[in-house]
Amino acid sequence: MIYISAVGMVNALGNSQDEIAANLTAGIAPGMHCRTGWLQGSPDAVLGGVEGELPPIPHSMSVHRTRNNQLLLAALAQIQPTVDEAIARVGRDRVAVVLGTSTSGLDEGDEHVRCKLNQQESIHWHYSQQELGDPSRFLSNWLRLEGPAYTVSTACSSSARAMISGRRLIEAGLVDIAIVGGADTLSRMPVNGFHSLESFSPTLCEPFGRDRRGITIGEAAALMVLTREPTGVALLGTGESSDAYHISAPHPQGEGAIRAITQALNEAGMQPQEIGYINLHGTATPLNDQIESQVIHDLFGESVPCSSTKHLTGHTLGAAGITEAALSWLILTRDLPLPAQDFTRYVQDDTLPPCGVLQQSTALKKPFILSNSFAFGGNNASILLGRVS
């Protein structure tokens, strides 16, 4: 069995575990607010940002100097003692880094292009900053590791699949420890890209709402240390699939999502009714919420409490899988109440198949949480975490 020995995270809910736990319980996200200059043709759009200063990247590593990597350092700082102990115990060649991202240093590339178009000097940009492999290379170099280091980029399931990949490296005997996670940063390209697809909401997203318009984009980073050493929470099961149905739309019957969830349950040797909470992908796009509601209804009925937390973090793209798995870990380790879907701002869509969406916060009654990530291209991943004695 693979266990989670430490978790670090930063997102719109806060910059520490204590802050994030308190705001998740209260349903407050300080980093979710209107921002100017990101959406073309509109002065404002609600986006989820990480507030406050981030750790600096020294000049000696300037080729890695991106906000994405600064977010990773902020998450790393929370788990540094565990990471240092693990490296000292198993050796630098026995620790892997597997991360997920979809933007990497894209925002720095955008600023470079802006400078060039305006005949301004661009002295801080390096092409390698926006390579998808850069976050993993950076973190591995920062920690002076010698084990495998690579990035998974499968859109919004990227960091969930990074967790699955890290687990496999340990189970294959290639490493003893895997530092897994992901980061994505606010950038004009995905903001305007989703807007062009008519999948972006300039106001705060409305998961499972009657008049939902699309996603609210956020930025975040989270890291987990995976190990065989027993801890209080285990990675009990994982599932992944690829629809290959459409580049942006989910399979109309949710076939890939069903396979991913079923695989995670089967790996854990569990039945649907044993799950205590489902963190839904819940993007607030018309198609995603429709199909996911149907999938959960078909597999779980209305008996399992579920909700989307994206109104509190934004859709953090490649970091979404690890961010929501980290929130699930926080609920398990701190016995937090389950986050309700906030229907105080909008009306719930009563045409969706009923699937146990929480109307109000409640206690977790069974210590097993399923977290779903359903991405573009039908890249689906489900992560099943649970408390173990």
The catalytic residues are: 156, 281, 315
Burial class (CB in 10 A: 0-12, 13-18, 19+), 272: middle
| Alpha carbon distance 137, 145 (integer Å) | 10
Amino acid at 124: H
| Alpha carbon distance 214, 206 (integer Å) | 8
Cβ atoms within 10 Å, residue 16: 15
Amino acid at 58: P
Structure tokens at 206: 């409305």
The gap from C-alpha 100 to its chain's centroid, in whole angstroms, comes to: 9
For residue 219, give the nearest of 180, 182, 192 by alpha carbon: 182
Q: What are the CA-CA distances from residue 134 to residues 209, 216, 219 (Å)?
A: 37, 25, 17
Torsion angles phi and psi, residue 335, rounded to 5: 50, 45
| Alpha carbon distance 352, 293 (integer Å) | 6
Which residue stretches of the chain are H helix? 17-26, 67-90, 106-117, 134-142, 158-171, 188-196, 255-268, 286-300, 310-313, 320-334
Residue 352 CB-half CA count within 13 A: 30
3-state helix, strand, coil in the chain (%, to 5): 40, 25, 40
Helix axes 286-300, 255-268, angle to 10 degrees: 40
Structure tokens at 38: 């990101």
